[in-house]
Amino acid sequence: EVKELLVEKLSKYIISPELTVKIIGYNSKVVYVVGEVGRPGKIFMQGNTITVREALIQAALPLLSAKTTKSRLITPSEQSKPVQRPVNVHKLLFEGDLRENLVMNPGDTLYIPPTVMAKAMRVIQPIQAPLGAARGTATSVMTGF
C-alpha cells in the first residue's frame, strides 16, 4: 500500500519508478524495564517477542544497587490482577542459566528491585546533605573561615 502511494507520487517526476519498501522496525510494540537498570523505560521490540536478557541489555543492564535475585516479570491482564513471575536475573546473566531467560510479550514489564542497602541510602542521603552543609557552616564560624 505504501509502495503504490510512493510510486504514484514519484511518477509525476520519474518515468516508471521502481521502489522497494522495507520495514526495519515497529515502534508500536513495546515492553518496559523499570527499577535498578542503567536506562529504565520503554524497549521497542523488533518482532512479536523479546527475551528478558535482550531487554536487560537494551536497558543498559542492572545497576550495582539491583537485587537481581528477586526480579519479576509482570504481564498485564484485563480479566484479573497482573500475572507476576519471578526471574533470577543474577542466574541468567552471571551463571548463564537460560531457564531464567523468559519471553516477554508486548506490554510486559520487567521490574528489577533495589537492594535493602540501596533503599536505606535513598532515605539517608536527603537527610545527610542538609546536615553536612550545616556542619560545614558551623565549622567555618568556629574557625573564622
Q: Give per-residue pLDDT as tens, 27-83.
A: 789 999 999 999 999 999 988 999 999 999 999 999 999 999 999 999 999 898 999
pTM higher than 0.75: no
CA dihedral 44, 47, 53, 59 (to 10 degrees): -10
- Non-local (6+) Cβ contacts of 69 within 8 A are 88, 89, 90, 91
Burial of 68 (0-12, 13-18, 19+ CB in 10 A): buried
Selected residue with higher pLDDT from 127 and 51: 51
pLDDT exceeds cutoff 90 at 139: no
Residue 40 confidence (pLDDT): 98
23 pLDDT band, cuts 50/70/90, is confident
Domains and CATH numbers, the chain: 30-129 (3.10.560.10)
pLDDT exceeds cutoff 90 at 126: no
Residue 115 confidence (pLDDT): 97
Tell me the Cα Rg of the chain.
25
Selected residue with higher pLDDT from 125 and 129: 125
Mean pLDDT value of segment 132-144: 59
Q: How far is CA 12 from CA 2, 5, 8, 17, 92, in A?
A: 16, 12, 7, 10, 56
> DSSP of 40-64, one letter per residue?
-EEEE-SSS-EEHHHHHHHTT-B-T
Q: Which residues make beta-bridge pairs with 73? A: 85, 110
